[in-house]
Structure 1
Amino acid sequence: MLSRTRVHLQTLVLLILVVHLSQPVCVDVPSGTEAILGKTMKLTCISCMRREEVKAKTRVDWYYMKEDENKEYGITSHKFHIYRFEEDSSGALDGPLNGRVKWNGSHDLQDLSIIITNVTYNDSGVYECHVQREFVFDFFTPSVYITKNITLRVKEQATGDTAALYSEIMMYVLLVFLTFWLLVEMVYCYRKISKSDEQAQDTAY
């Protein structure tokens, strides 16, 4: 009886392990910085959360500032508020990119990216992703504020973006490693359960 209880317990542990390791992996990768004229460009903004932080109110504000050739003289460009995401209301705002900015974030709100359609040369500049999270706990509601900057260049033809390519390769390597780790753990747990089951049968006889 004790051996059978142990087998069931190990089976439960295996299921918990599989569910835990099969959770989506959040990888904080930098955004691409080269857009192609006339194409669609994704501006990536990743803000990973831990499992205990999944209950949070998230607000995302995207800003655009055109790089001014006169900035060396202390003259700065106007910052445009181009997109706002909230639970109750979200959407593109009036500005130089009006009608060409769309939400491209994930359902779990760890990927907070946007896309720009029909890119023009005037879209070159600095984009800011402002993320405000208010976490919901039993007795208090702490908040965090994160800002990420992306300097975008628009070109007529594509060239190699080394940083983005390296980040993408590392992301896939990490996913492959975690998948292999999950497989090894499943095989190990299966063998342990099989061995315990055999011992239980031997004890019954």
Structure 2
Amino acid sequence: MICHLCLLVVFNLFVFQCHGGCAEVDSMTEAVAGEGFLLGCISCKKREEVSARATVDWHFKPQGEVEFRHIFHYDHPSANILHQDFSQRLEWRGTKNKDIQIGAIYIHNVTFNETGMYRCTILRTLFLSLYNEHVTVEKDVELNVVAVANRELTSVISEIMMYVLIVVLQLWLIGVLVYCYKKISEEYEVRDANKALKAQAQLSKDNSDGVQIE
């Protein structure tokens, strides 16, 4: 019984990995000049079964300035770059349907002038049975553009720990599978032995009855 529960846990772990839901992960905040950078923006619906439609707007406030510039608008399937400084350098990397939950954009060939605050605004309309609900979500990303990528010690340690955890989990799963295989094999061997003993006992009984009849 314990072994079957272990197998069920292993199966659920694999299913969870294959069918993960929406998760609101913060955007990275450091870009390297001359390279591309993904500005992340995720807003998950609280109820997946409710249909919705959303639009996404990105605004940019350069370092040292006080006002935002409207640089990008997405209304499926149309993506529009609205500021000449980003002309032909912004690419939609979010959800490619009307029910947007990921509003990410990709900046090609980042420059130092793009250091500053980016604001992602998701305007969502939820189509409920009795009425339509309008929801506005704003997420800010403080972007720093550097000449060479910096890797903090905490980031390196976190990455190492992640790989160690993955290896440990894999070894644990392999150990569980081997243990369960041995337990199941032992159960089948015991069951076959019991069947053989019962068959032998029945045969002896039949032979004994036959001798008495004669």
Instruction: Report the TM range for the smaller structure's normalisation.
Output: 0.5 to 0.7
How many residues are treated as equivalent by the alignment?
189
Name the structure 2 match of 1:190: none
Q: Which amino acid aligns with 1:42?
A: L
Q: CA deviation at 1:121?
A: 1.1
Q: CA deviation at 1:30?
A: 0.9
Supply the distance in 1 between the matched residues of 2:116 and 2:109 (Cα, whole angstroms): 16
Q: Is 2:82 the partner of 1:94?
A: yes
Name the structure 2 match of 1:143: 134
Q: Aligned pair in 2 of structure 1 residues 161, 105: CA closer, same or farther (>3 Å)?
A: farther
Work out which of the residue numbers 124, 134, 151 in structure 2 matches 1:133: 124
Name the structure 2 match of 1:63: 58
- Normalization by structure 2: what TM-score? 0.59
Q: CA deviation at 1:22?
A: 6.1
Supply the distance in 2 between the matched residues of 1:34 and 1:98 (Cα, whole angstroms): 21
1:1-205 aligned at under 5 Å gives the runs 21=16, 24-26=19-21, 27-50=23-46, 52-69=47-64, 76-84=66-74, 86=75, 88-95=76-83, 96-107=85-96, 109-160=100-151
Q: Which amino acid aligns with 2:137?
A: I
Name the SS of the counterpart of 1:69 in structure 2. coil
1:147-171 Cα deviation digits (max 9, x unpaired)? 0000111111001267888998999
Supply the distance in 2 between the matched residues of 1:48 and 1:170 (Cα, whole angstroms): 28
Q: Which amino acid aligns with 1:133?
A: R
Name the SS of the counterpart of 2:67 in structure 1. coil
Q: Aligned pair in 2 of structure 1 residues 102, 123: CA closer, same or farther (>3 Å)?
A: same
Q: Which amino acid aligns with 2:80?
A: A
Q: Aligned pair in 2 of structure 1 residues 173, 110: CA closer, same or farther (>3 Å)?
A: farther
Name the structure 2 match of 1:73: none
Whether the aligned pair in 2 keeps the contact of 1:37 and 1:155 (CA below 8 Å) is yes
Whether the aligned pair in 2 keeps the contact of 1:130 and 1:147 (CA below 8 Å) is yes
Whether the aligned pair in 2 keeps the contact of 1:105 and 1:111 (CA below 8 Å) is yes
- Normalization by structure 1: what TM-score? 0.61
Larger radius of gyration: 2
Whether the aligned pair in 1 keeps the contact of 2:41 and 2:139 (CA below 8 Å) is yes
Q: CA deviation at 1:31?
A: 0.6
* Greater RCO, CA 8 A, separation 6+: 1
